[in-house]
Structures are given as C-alpha cells and as structure tokens.
Amino acid sequence: MSRIGLIGGTGALGKAIARRLAKAGHEVTIGSRAAESAQAAAAEIGAAGGAANEDAAQGQDVVIVTVPYSAHASTLAQIKDKVGGAIVVDATVPLVPPKVMRVQLPAAGSAAAEAQAHLGEGVRLVSAFHSVAAHKLDHDGKVDCDVLVFSDDVEARKVVIGLCEDMELRGLAGGALVNAAAAEALTSILIYMNKNYGGDGAGIRFTGLTTAPALP
Amino acid sequence: MSRIGLIGGTGALGKAIARRLAKAGHEVTIGSRAAESAQAAAAEIGAAGGAANEDAAQGQDVVIVTVPYSAHASTLAQIKDKVGGAIVVDATVPLVPPKVMRVQLPAAGSAAAEAQAHLGEGVRLVSAFHSVAAHKLDHDGKVDCDVLVFSDDVEARKVVIGLCEDMELRGLAGGALVNAAAAEALTSILIYMNKNYGGDGAGIRFTGLTTAPALP
C-alpha cells in the first residue's frame, strides 16, 4: 500500500485514477485548488481525504499530476518544494485548444521535458497515463488500452507500472522520459480518431511483445 | 490497379511493401540508386520492373519513399521534379543512430514536415508505414499491427488506406500531415520495446473505434 496524492484530482482523469487506486487499497489524497472541493471528491470516490494541492503533494510516496496544460507550469511551481523524495507522475498532455486534434508539441519537445525543467533534476519524474480516456476508468473492470510509462528512473517506472496493474490496466515501459513526446503526440491522434471513427474513447494496444506483462 | 514506384525499394521495408502490392495486382516498379539492383529485386519479388530512383518516380499513380533518414533529403531532391501529380507516400522515420531508442524529432517537428518543405506545397504528400516491421510483411497473411496514415489531402489518404487493405494491413487515418510526428516518435518506443520485452517486431493496434475499417 502506498500513500498517493492526486494533484488536480477533482478533474475527470484525476478522480478516475484516484478511485481505482483507492479501491486497490492505496491511501489516496485528492488535491485541488480548493480543499473543500477535494474533500467532496474524496468522499464521493472513497479516497482517504482531500486537501489543497500543496498539502496533497506533501508526505506521499507517489504524487500524480493531472492538470490541463494551461495549469501545468503553475501547478508544478506550487508542489515543487513539497514532493521531496516522492515519485512524481505527470500525466499532462500539451494540447493547445482549439486545435486539439493537431500535434503541437512544445519547444522543449514534450510536457514531460518541461516538467523536468520546472521540478529540477533531483525529482523522480515519470510520465504516464496519457492515452487512457477518463470515463473508461470510471467503472470497474478491465480497460482495452495500454498505458505507456516513461522515466529515466527505472525503479520509479516499475513502481508506476505496478500501480497500473493495481488499476486493472497494463502499463508498459516506453523508455526514457524524453520518449514521452510520442505518447503526448499520440493523444491528438486519439482525439482525431474519436471524431473520425465515432469511438467513445480510442486507445492503443501494443502487439508482438514476448515478455510484456500479461493483459489484466 | 495502380502504377506504384517504390523509391529505395531494395531496402527491407521497401521490398516487403513492393512484394505485397505486386501480389495484390498493382504494377510495381522498384527504384534504387543502381538500376541493376532494382531489377534484381523486382525479379526476386515479382514486381513489374526495376529502375534508378528518378525513373521509378516518373509516370506513377503513387510513389512510396522508404529510405533511411540520412538519405531523406537527397532522395526527395532526386525525385522532386519527377513525381508530377502522383501521391507521394513518405515512410521515413527520423531515427538518429546510435540512439534509435530515443525520440529525437527534427526541428521542423517531423520528417513529414521536412518532406513537405523539400517537395513543395503542390505535392500530394502522405506519411504512412512507420510502425510496421519489414520482416512481418515478408510472408503472406495478416499482420497484427495498424498502419497510421496522415495527410492534408483527404483523397490521397483514402487511396493509401486502400493500399494498406490490399496488403492485408489495416490503415487508419491519423489526421493532418503534421500529426505524423506521433507515429515517427512512436517508432523509437517500438524499438525500445523490442529490446525490453523481447519481441521480434512490436506493433500497435487502436481500440475503441466504432466505424474503423475491419481488421483484415
């Protein structure tokens, strides 16, 4: 069991991740700009508690950041001095409205690279959860979608792949943090496909892998 | 039946694509730097003929470019004035050896964007075939992998999706040409996964799409 803070945890993706992690037995704290909203969301999904983002980032084993790209830099600045030795998982995708079906990667190459710059080299940063639609995690059971997990910290990557398993998702290592660019860019393709092929939550599965974790 | 030129068609991917297209009944010309090599490859796989790249690019309905990134710019310069109104399909992935498991996208964002700049706005450019391992096309039968197809020219994109079907592959529209960045970046992830998970040709499948073409 880990202590896990969900920063931006009242949003659709954050709340859905928090619910599955709480259900798996983790001690989950929802974070939000307003502590009251966080506490209400925590009560709704069965998390241990709710707090302001700064407080939810403190004293955790894992801190998961799920905020819109427009709030990325400011949120990381808020939690930077709170996360300590925790693994920080960034799920941010650099979508630039209104053209969200168009790949528009930031100058640094990825939101993950930007996060590393914001948080500093000492932070155990992981990038994950880009390609899973929030509403697919809202109910129990398996989800037909792999989660790519990127980090330069191999141990941290393993921990997050384990959390995916706890959530009935298959997490797959995708290599170094810089490789998050691929998953971030892919999100615009999935949004395009939802529109073009009428799906309600396009996802990806990787094929041809001999020793990958089994599907949940 | 279309007339199709395979530029760099003596390489592993080009030859494998050419073989499947020829088998489906298309009139395929293999192109290579040396006409003799192209003719030998054509005889080997049952293509209509072989020629120097410049000649193989002329008088075609579709021209498919499969060259290493190091030969990308020079090859496009060679064929630029030959392709005319043909659909040009670029399969180039901007891998930068030796770090091929690391996403290193070019300054323009993608090899596809670079190709557009090289060939000019008038060319009917499509980016496709990034994520399929050549040796998986070497034999007959289905391949457990989707092919992403990007273009600003919707009709050209449809033609290439049709060619995928002829090759017993599922082609999926991935949106505008600029979105090729996602598939190009993903290639480094697949190479990483081949190493990390011991596969012999990692691929991707998209899930959750209601009206996508059926699997072959």
Q: What is the pLDDT of residues B182-197, one digit of tens each?
A: 999 999 999 999 999 9
ipTM: 0.95
Sorted by sequence, the CB contacts under 8 Å of residue B28 that are 6+ apart come out as: B4, B5, B6, B18, B21, B22, B42, B47, B48
Whether residue B134 lies within 8 A of chain A, CB to CB, comes out as no
Please confirm whether the linkage preceding A98 is cis (ω < 30° from 0).
yes
Whether residue A132 lies within 8 A of chain B, CB to CB, comes out as no
C-alpha B125/C-alpha B151 separation (Å) is 6
- The residue of chain A nearest to residue B190, with distances taken between CA atoms, is A174
pLDDT of residue B63: 98
- In this prediction, what percent of chain B has a pLDDT beyond 70? 100
Query: Residue A215 pLDDT > 90, yes or no?
Result: no
Task: Give the pLDDT band (50/70/90) at residue B82.
Answer: very high
Task: Give the pLDDT band (50/70/90) at residue A216.
Answer: confident
Mean pLDDT within A172-198: 97
Q: Backbone phi, then psi, for B78, in 5-degree steps? A: -65, -40
Task: Give the pLDDT band (50/70/90) at residue B55.
Answer: very high
Mean pLDDT within B121-126: 96
| 3-state SS string for B110-166 | CHHHHHHHHHCCCCEEEECCCCCCHHHHCCCCCCCCEEEEEECCHHHHHHHHHHHHH
| R_g (Cα) of chain A, nearest Å | 16
- Which of A4-18, A58-72, B187-201 is least confident? B187-201
Task: Give the pLDDT band (50/70/90) at residue A6.
Answer: very high
DSSP β-bridge partners for residue A148: A172
pLDDT of residue B215: 87
- For A186-213, b/e burial (b = at least 16 CB within 10 A) is bbbbbbbbbebbebebbbbbbbbbeebb
Whether residue B105 lies within 8 A of chain A, CB to CB, comes out as yes
Whether residue A200 lies within 8 A of chain B, CB to CB, comes out as yes
Burial of B163 (0-12, 13-18, 19+ CB in 10 A): buried
Q: What is the pLDDT of residues A87-105, one digit of tens each?
A: 999 999 999 999 999 999 9
Query: Residue A131 pLDDT > 80, yes or no?
Result: yes
Query: Residue B200 pLDDT > 80, yes or no?
Result: no
Cross-chain Cβ contact A175/B192 below 8 Å: yes
Catalogue all structural domains in chain A, each as residue range(s) with its CATH number: 3-196 (3.40.50.720)
Contacts of A177 in chain B (CB under 8 A): none
Query: Residue A86 pLDDT > 80, yes or no?
Result: yes
DSSP β-bridge partners for residue B111: none
Tokens encoding B114: 């670079």
pLDDT of residue A199: 78
Contacts of A190 in chain B (CB under 8 A): 206
Q: Please name the residue that has the structure tokens 């992935």.
A: B93
- For B36-60, b/e burial (b = at least 16 CB within 10 A) is ebbbebbeebebebbbbbbbbbbeb
pLDDT of residue A69: 96
pLDDT of residue A214: 85
Tokens encoding A93: 């995708």
- Which of A111-115, A177-181, A196-200, A203-207 is least confident? A196-200
Query: Residue B201 pLDDT > 90, yes or no?
Result: no
